[in-house]
Chains A and B, each alone.
Chain A
Amino acid sequence: MTSLNTKANIKAPDEFYAELLAVHEGLSKAESDALNARLILLLANHIGDRQVLSEALQAAARKE
Chain B
Amino acid sequence: MSKVFEVPLYPYQRSPDQDAATPVRHTVVVVGAGPVGLALAIDLAMQDVPVVVVDENDKVSWGSRAICFAKRPLEILDRLGCGDPMVDKGVVWNLGKVYFDERQVFGFNLLPEEGHKRPAFINLQQYYLEQFLVDRVRELQAEGKPIELRGGSKVLDVSQHDSGAELTIGTPDGPYQISADWVVACDGAASPIRTLLGLEFTGRVFEDNFLIADVVMEADFPTERWFWFDPPFNRGQSALLHKQPDNVWRIDFQLGWDIDREKELKPENIDRRLRAMLGDEISYQLEWSSIYTFQCRRMDRFREGRVLFAGDSAHQVSPFGARGANSGLQDADNLAWKLKLIVDGKSPLTLLDSYDVERVHGADENILNSSRSTDFITPKSEISRIFRDAVLDLSERYEATRPMVNSGRLSVPCTYDGSPLNGPDCAVMPERTRPGSPMVDAPVPGGWLFDRLGSAFHLLTIDAETPEPLPEYGVGCKRLALSTADDPDGYLKQRYLGDAVSGVYLVRPDQHVAARWEAFDEAAVTAALGKAMGR
Main secondary structure of the interface of B (DSSP, over half): helix
Query: CA–CA, A34 to B387, complex, Å?
Result: 7
Q: Which residues of B contact A41 (CB under 8 A)?
A: 387, 390-391, 394, 400-401, 404
Query: CA–CA, A41 to B387, complex, Å?
Result: 8
Query: CA–CA, A52 to B389, complex, Å?
Result: 24
Closest to B387 in A: A37
Within 8 A of A (CB), among B381-397: 383, 386-387, 389-391, 393-394
Task: Check B400–A38 contact: CB distance below 8 A.
Answer: no
A51 contacts the other chain (Cβ, under 8 Å)? no
Q: Which residues of B contact A42 (CB under 8 A)?
A: 394, 398, 400-401
B interface footprint on A45-59 (CB within 8 Å = 1, 0 otherwise)? 100000000000000
Task: Check A37–B401 contact: CB distance below 8 A.
Answer: no
A19 contacts the other chain (Cβ, under 8 Å)? no
Task: Check B386–A34 contact: CB distance below 8 A.
Answer: yes
Closest to B399 in A: A45
Least Cβ distance of A60 to chain B in Å? 13
We find that the number of chain A residues with CB closer than 8 angstroms to chain B is: 8
When the two chains form the complex, which single residue of B387, B389, B393, B400 contacts A45, counting CB atoms closer than 8 Å? B400
Task: Check B386–A33 contact: CB distance below 8 A.
Answer: yes
Within 8 A of B (CB), among A12-64: 33-34, 37-38, 40-42, 45
Task: Check B401–A34 contact: CB distance below 8 A.
Answer: no
Task: Check B390–A37 contact: CB distance below 8 A.
Answer: yes
Task: Check A34–B393 contact: CB distance below 8 A.
Answer: yes
Task: Check A37–B386 contact: CB distance below 8 A.
Answer: yes
Query: CA–CA, A40 to B401, complex, Å?
Result: 11
Q: Which residues of A contact B404 (CB under 8 A)?
A: 41
Q: Which residues of A contact B398 (CB under 8 A)?
A: 42
Least Cβ distance of A2 to chain B in Å? 19
Query: CA–CA, A36 to B389, complex, Å?
Result: 12
Task: Check B400–A34 contact: CB distance below 8 A.
Answer: no
Q: Which residues of B contact A34 (CB under 8 A)?
A: 386, 389-390, 393
Closest to B400 in A: A45
Q: Which residues of A contact B401 (CB under 8 A)?
A: 41-42, 45
Main secondary structure of the interface of A (DSSP, over half): helix
Query: CA–CA, A40 to B394, complex, Å?
Result: 11
Q: Which residues of A contact B386 (CB under 8 A)?
A: 33-34, 37
Query: CA–CA, A42 to B393, complex, Å?
Result: 12
A interface footprint on B2-13 (CB within 8 Å = 1, 0 otherwise)? 000000000000
Q: Which residues of A contact B393 (CB under 8 A)?
A: 34, 38
Q: Which residues of A contact B390 (CB under 8 A)?
A: 34, 37-38, 40-41
A interface footprint on B345-374 (CB within 8 Å = 1, 0 otherwise)? 000000000000000000000000000000
Q: Which residues of A contact B389 (CB under 8 A)?
A: 34, 37
Query: CA–CA, A40 to B386, complex, Å?
Result: 12
Within 8 A of A (CB), among B305-331: none
Q: Which residues of B contact A33 (CB under 8 A)?
A: 383, 386
Q: Which residues of B contact A38 (CB under 8 A)?
A: 390, 393-394
Q: Which residues of A contact B387 (CB under 8 A)?
A: 37, 40-41
Least Cβ distance of A31 to chain B in Å? 11
Q: Which residues of A contact B394 (CB under 8 A)?
A: 38, 41-42
A interface footprint on B405-440 (CB within 8 Å = 1, 0 otherwise)? 000000000000000000000000000000000000
Least Cβ distance of A17 to chain B in Å? 22
Closest to B401 in A: A41
Least Cβ distance of B247 to chain A in Å? 40
Query: CA–CA, A37 to B393, complex, Å?
Result: 10
Least Cβ distance of B434 to chain A in Å? 22
Query: CA–CA, A28 to B348, complex, Å?
Result: 67
Closest to B382 in A: A33
Closest to A30 in B: B386
Query: CA–CA, A42 to B401, complex, Å?
Result: 8
Q: Which residues of B contact A40 (CB under 8 A)?
A: 387, 390
Least Cβ distance of A27 to chain B in Å? 13
Query: CA–CA, A31 to B387, complex, Å?
Result: 12
Closest to B395 in A: A41
Query: CA–CA, A40 to B393, complex, Å?
Result: 13
Please name 15 pairs of A and B residues whose Cβ atoms are closer than 8 Å in the assembled complex, sorted by A.
A33-B386, A34-B389, A34-B393, A37-B389, A37-B390, A38-B390, A38-B394, A40-B387, A41-B390, A41-B391, A41-B394, A41-B401, A42-B394, A42-B398, A42-B400
- Given A34-B393, A41-B390, A42-B400, output 17 extra A-B contacts at Cβ < 8 Å: A33-B383, A34-B386, A34-B389, A34-B390, A37-B386, A38-B390, A40-B387, A41-B387, A41-B391, A41-B394, A41-B400, A41-B404, A42-B394, A42-B398, A42-B401, A45-B400, A45-B401
Q: Which residues of A contact B (CB under 8 A)?
A: 33-34, 37-38, 40-42, 45
Q: Top 8 A-B pairs ranked by shortest CB distance?
A: A37-B390, A45-B400, A38-B390, A37-B386, A37-B387, A33-B386, A41-B401, A38-B394
